[in-house]
Amino acid sequence: MDIIVIRHGIALEAEDAERLGLSDAERPLTPKGQRRTRAAGIGLRATLAGARIDDLVVSPLLRARQTADILAGYLDDPTIEEADVLAPPVDMQALDEFLHTHFGDRRLVLIGHEPDLATWVSWSLTRRRDRLMAFKKAGAAMLEFPGPPEGGTGTLRWLLTAEQLRALG
């Protein structure tokens, strides 16, 4: 099973959202975030070279959902599934258990937030909750699992920043 992990695109700053009366969950992507996410989507499509995505699983926060809506168009419009398990703070074992319900799917995309995504990737590689890496906005990684996702069983296949994805597009 392959899982592609993507951090949401550039969103309205928390302080600006607060001034507008928006909650953290309501923070939208900025126009720059939308443009850069589209460019990253082109690079992601090139990186995946036509490999089929079974589902996009996304945090319920607006900026993650908007990122999923943009990327879906570059990935042949897979089903988008909103999952509370990706809302901060993410419990690593709960996310693994959720992903077991998708076992049998060949390739999933998870779209969420930092530091939770980096912690889950680190957990998947080492079964430790130490954050060994970080995702920039619209950055992505692909992990491969020999069976259902379990902490310590993943293999990192690639890790790309949004800038690197844009260069590949």
The runs of H, that is alpha helices, within the chain are 14-19, 31-48, 62-72, 92-100, 116-126, 162-168
Half-sphere exposure of 60 (CA within 13 A, CB side): 8
* 85 Cα distance to chain centroid: 13
| DSSP type of residue 121 | H
Query: What is the pLDDT confidence band of residue 119, given thresholds at 50, 70 and 90?
Result: very high
Query: What is the pLDDT confidence band of residue 50, given thresholds at 50, 70 and 90?
Result: confident
Structure tokens at 17: 């959202």
Walk me through the domains of the chain, giving residue ranges and CATH numbers: 2-168 (3.40.50.1240)
Query: What is the pLDDT confidence band of residue 125, given thresholds at 50, 70 and 90?
Result: very high
pLDDT at 130 over 80: yes
User: pTM of the full predicted structure?
Assistant: 0.95
CA 59 to each of CA 101, 116, 142: distance values in angstroms, whole numbers, following the listed order? 16, 11, 18
